[in-house]
Amino acid sequence: MKADVTTLGAKASGSVDLDEAVFGIEARADILQRMVTYQLAKRQAGTHKTKQRSEIAGTTKKFGRQKGGGGARHGNRKSNIFIGGGKSHGPVVRSHAIDLPKKIRALALKMALSSKTANEQLIVLEDAKSKDGKTGGLRKQLEKLGINNALIIDGSELDDNFARAARNIAQIDVLPAQGINVYDILRREKLVLTKAALSSLEERFK
């Protein structure tokens, strides 16, 4: 499978071969959905918590007599039915992460890459570098390429000037090759891979 390579200046720069096993498989919505759920669940902090009855500060003295009060029998004021008391079955600190086999995660990434290729939303760049790190100049270059909502993946290291210039452009995300993930691929309209990113992906899926 061939893909044309372009430069940031919108000039043709040859072509590259895309691995059919990575960029040419049929995407399944259920696999992609499982992966997105896995990612979003894993990133939840899980630090929400309420105090239970045993964690409320205060006396444990019985506040009323057992009989003759004209109402129900109660112990101390820490009970969940009183204002200032504990919370019954409230949230506790926990991990929201779910399990997903490594093979399914790898397959989901291949399917996300393949879906962008099939929908002609994959762009291959010669490189992602900026000389001056100016946002305005980079925005014009991307507009010339028809890129206004995209995830840009570079090699193992990002060009500092390019990352700085892209940081202030709305709906443009820039990640190193090791940070590529299904959720970020799907949430952006186009996927932009540099030749260095393609090399990293080939090594990853060998």
Q: What is the CATH number of the domain that holds 130?
A: 3.40.1370.10
Question: Do residue 134 and residue 176 come from a single domain?
Answer: yes
Whole-number Cα distances in Å, 84 to 62, 63, 87, 151, 197 = 16, 14, 9, 49, 56
145 and 60 assigned to the same domain = no
Same domain, 132 and 182: yes
Do 78 and 128 belong to one domain?
Answer: no
Closest CA to 129 of 155, 162, 102: 162
Neighbour order of strands in the sheet with 2-6 = 12-17, 2-6, 122-125, 190-194, 150-153, 172-175
Percent of the chain exceeding pLDDT 90 equals: 91
The pLDDT value given to residue 1? 85
**pLDDT tens-place string over residues 16-40:** 999 999 999 999 999 999 999 999 9
DSSP string, 119-171: TT-EEEES----SS--HHHHHHHHHHTT-SSEEEE-SSS--HHHHHHHTTSTT
- Domain limits for position 54: 50-90
In this structure, are residues 124 and 3 in contact, taking their beta carbons and an 8 Å threshold? yes
Residues 181/39, Cβ–Cβ less than 8 Å:
yes
pLDDT of 206 above 90: no
Q: Residues 54, 36: one domain?
A: no
Q: Are residues 18 and 55 in the same domain?
A: no
Let me know whether 81 and 172 are in one domain: no
Tens digit of each residue's pLDDT (9 = 90 or more) over 140-155: 999 999 999 999 999 9
pLDDT digits (tens, 9 = 90+) for 52-100: 999 999 999 999 999 998 989 999 999 999 999 999 999 999 999 999 9
**Chain mean pLDDT for the chain:** 94
Residue 90 confidence (pLDDT): 94
Same domain, 160 and 80: no
Full-prediction pTM beyond 0.75? yes
Domain count, the chain: 2
Q: Quick one: 119 and 165 in the same domain?
A: yes
Same domain, 142 and 83: no
